[in-house]
Structure formats: C-alpha cells, structure tokens
Amino acid sequence: MIKRIIYLAIIPAAVMLTMASCSDGEEKGTTGSQKNRAGLEVNAYVVKLLPLTQGLSLSGTLLAGEEVELRAETTGKLVEFHLDEGKSVKKGQLLARVNDSEIRARLEKSKSDLKLALDNLERNQRLKEINALSQQELDVALNRVDGIRAEIRLAEAQIEKAEVRAPFDGKIGLRNVSPGSFIGANTVLATLIQDDPLRLEFSVPERYAYGVKAGKEITFTLGHTSTEYKATVYATEFAIDQQTRALKARAKCSNPKGELLPGSFARVSFILNGNPETILIPPQALVPVLGGQNVIVARNGKATFVPVETGIRTATSVEVISGIQPGDTLLLSGLLQVREGTPVKTTLVESW
C-alpha cells in the first residue's frame, strides 16, 4: 500500500519536471532564433571617395654641381702655379702654366714675318694694278700671308694647351703637384668642384617612376643630421635601367653656406601625386580568393562577397579600381565568421 502511494506521488513530479525542461528548451531555441534573425554584429565603413597620396623614401647621393680633374694638355715644367687649395676661382682664371717659352718665341717670329709679308703683298697689289706684276706672283704673296697666319694660330693653340684655366666658378681641392714639377699630359694637378648648387642623385623603382617628373619638389636629410633640405628634380634618364628596374633621377639644391658636402649619403623623401578622388579601403578588408580578392559588403542586412580590382597600395590603405562604389557598406570585422547571405548587424565607423 505504501509503495503504491509513493509511486502515485512520483508520477506528477516527473510530469512537472518534463514540462519545465521542455519550456526551457523552447526559450533557448527562441533566443537562438532571435539572434540569428538579428544578425552577426560587425563593424562596417561606408565607402567614399578620398584623395590618394603616397610618400616614398629612397637613398641618394649628393654630387658636386660640376666637377673636373685639372690637367695640362702638354708635357713640361710648371712655370706658373696658382692652385691654392680650398680657394674659390672664377671661370677662365689662369691656374697653372707649363713652360711654353719656345712656342711664344715662334709666335713672335711669326708675327714679325706676317708684318713683312703684308707689306710685300701690298706692294705686289699696286704693281698688279699697273700690270707690272703677274697674277702668279701676286698669288704667291697671298699664300705667304695665309701660311704665316696659320702658323700664328697654331702657336696660339699650343700656348692655350700649355695653360690650365678654370672651366667654371668653383673651389680648388687638394693639389697633387708642387710648383716647378715636371708633368705629363695625364698628370692630375687638382680637382675643381662647384659646390653651389649641388646635385642630388637617386633611383626610383619602376612602379613609381611615372610619378617623378622635372620640376617636382623633394626633401632630403643627411646621415649626420635630421635637418631637412629641399631640392627640385631637373632631369631623369630616358629609360629604366634593365638591371636594377629603376629610373635614375637628379635634383638641384642650393648650398650658399657650403654646409653640404658632395659625396654625402642622403635620405630622399617625396610625395607621389595620386588620384585626387578614388576609393580607398583598409588592407584588412580584403579577402584573398583563388585568382583574385574579394570584399564583403552588407546589402539588405546580409553579407555579400564582391570581387574587386585593386590599384596602388600604401602603408594604411588600398586603392579599389572596380567592384564597389561610393555608398557601399564595407565589412571591417567578422570576415572569417560570415558566409554568403549571412545576416549581419552593422556598426558604422568613420575610419579604420
């Protein structure tokens, strides 16, 4: 009897537990269904047009504006010497002269001979006018004058070769010879450099070469200081080097105080001109796929995978050439959790 009473009491309790369990299951199922309908919470960015600029940092070398090794064009003893180390000189200034006394003597003799030949030619011309002289004799006198004049020009050219003059304004470097030295035609007397303005030479990788043109403003710093200097590109090579796949460019920079030294290493920086209005997205928004790249956009509350074509990349952004338009809502988070058609709930951000 007692067992029957206990059994009858257990049955209602089991029924109540079963009903409670079903009720909890229905509540959990309802909550999960509601979350699925609400969508996955993600951050998103509304695509818009932005200006594209790209900074570039390259290595360069400072070069003298002009530089030449001073040599004489003839062999002999230095009889004049004005190579003062570290001194400024003007274009055309006489810096050194090889002994040319023999040439100068011949020049003086030729000038004297020319005077006599001209007097003789003048007398022969008067005689020819009265038919007292043949044309042949007059031609001989003319040839004599022309020959002496040629000898004079030759002597003057030889004297010019014996002189070393400054080809441009600049400064004399360290000299290699002393006054009175006997030199040959290949002897380097000293180096003459122009230190204002200076040239800055650098190479631009092929992919950025089209952004460097004459007239472009650049800045650079030297290895020993953080001071920024300005320069202007004045010329580039006409072709990309096939070995380095880079375009060599040169810029000019002023150096009025002489504080910049030719040969110094320089770090060149400049901004590449980009598209004033283009679509830029963060690199992390790209989803690599076989044969290309996708982005995920929210359309009608669902995730949609869109293939895109990219352009220039910078440290913080990627240019999108085609695939999405301004106004599209681009997903920035949850990219590994969503699938095509997954419901999403977006929280818009202004930037990435």
Rounded CA separation 44/146 (Å): 92
Q: Are residues 79 and 170 both part of a single domain?
A: yes
Distance CA 322, CA 281 (A): 12
Residues 187, 224, single domain; the answer is: no
Q: Is residue 21 part of a domain?
A: no
Same domain, yes or no, for 78 and 143?
yes
How far apart (Å, rounded) are the C-alpha atoms in residues 315 and 321? 18
This prediction's pTM: 0.62
pLDDT, residue 80, reads: 94
pLDDT at position 1 is: 40
The answer to whether 92 and 191 have CB atoms below 8 angstroms apart is: no
Pick the last residue of a domain from 228, 255, 273.
273
The answer to the question of residue 312 being in a domain is: yes
Which residue in 178, 202, 157, 176 sits closest to 62, CA to CA? Answer: 202
DSSP-assigned letters across all residues of 227-293: --EEEEEEEE-SS-BTTTTEEEEEEEE--TT--S-TT-EEEEEEEEE--SSEEEE-GGG-EEETTEE
* Closest residue by Cα to residue 233 from 68, 56, 53: 56
Surface-to-core class of residue 43, CB atoms within 10 Å of its CB (0-12 exposed, 13-18 middle, 19+ buried):
middle
Mean pLDDT of 24-49: 67
Q: Can you tell me whether residue 26 is helix, strand or coil?
A: helix
Rg (CA), the chain: 44
DSSP 85: T
- For residue 315, tell me if it sits in a domain: yes
- Cα of first residue to Cα of last residue in the chain, in angstroms, is 77
Amino acid letter, residue 89: V
User: Which residues are CB-neighbours of 37 under 8 A, at least 6 positions away?
Assistant: 343
Q: Which residue among 273, 305, 322 closes a domain? A: 273
**In this structure, what token pair is assigned to residue 237?**
């090579």
Asked whether the predicted pLDDT for residue 60 surpasses 80, the reply is yes
Q: DSSP H helical segments within the chain, as ranges?
A: 2-38, 101-129, 135-162
In the block, which residue shows the tokens 């690199």? Answer: 283
**Contact between residue 203 and residue 94 where contact means Cβ atoms under 8 Å apart:** no
Query: Residue 224 has what pLDDT?
Result: 78
Least confident window among 34-43, 217-226, 232-241, 284-293 = 34-43
Q: 293 and 321 in one domain?
A: yes
The reply to whether 283 falls in a domain is yes
Number of domains in the chain: 3
* CATH code, domain carrying 200: 2.40.30.170
Q: Are residues 199 and 188 in the same domain?
A: no
156 and 94 share one domain: yes
Is the pLDDT reported for residue 22 higher than 70? no
32 within domain boundaries: no
Residue of 335 and 273 predicted with greater confidence: 335
**Distance, CA of 185 to CA of 6 (rounded, Å):** 130
User: Is there a domain that residue 10 lies in?
Assistant: no
Q: Verify cis geometry, omega within 30 degrees of 0, for the bond prior to 197.
A: yes
Which domain CATH number covers 296?
2.40.420.20
Asked whether residue 57 carries a pLDDT value surpassing 70, the answer given is yes
Quick one: tokens of 344? 């999403």
Residues 177 and 128 in one domain: yes
What mean pLDDT, rounded, does the chain reach?
A: 87
Same domain assignment for residues 116 and 208: no
Give the residue from 242, 258, 273 where a domain finishes. Answer: 273
Query: Domain of 166: which CATH number?
Result: 2.40.50.100
Is the pLDDT confidence value at 174 over 80?
yes
36, pLDDT greater than 60: no
Question: Do 286 and 9 contact (CB within 8 A), yes or no?
Answer: no
Structural domain that includes position 107: 72-192
Spatial contact of 54 and 275, defined as CB atoms under 8 Å apart: no
- Do 213 and 180 share a structural domain? no
Residue 13 included in any domain: no
* pLDDT at residue 34, as a whole number: 45
141 and 219 belong to one structural domain: no
Beta-carbon contacts of 102 under 8 Å, excluding residues fewer than 6 positions away, are: none
Q: Are 199 and 265 within one domain?
A: yes
**Judgement on whether residues 98 and 182 belong to the same structural domain of the protein:** yes
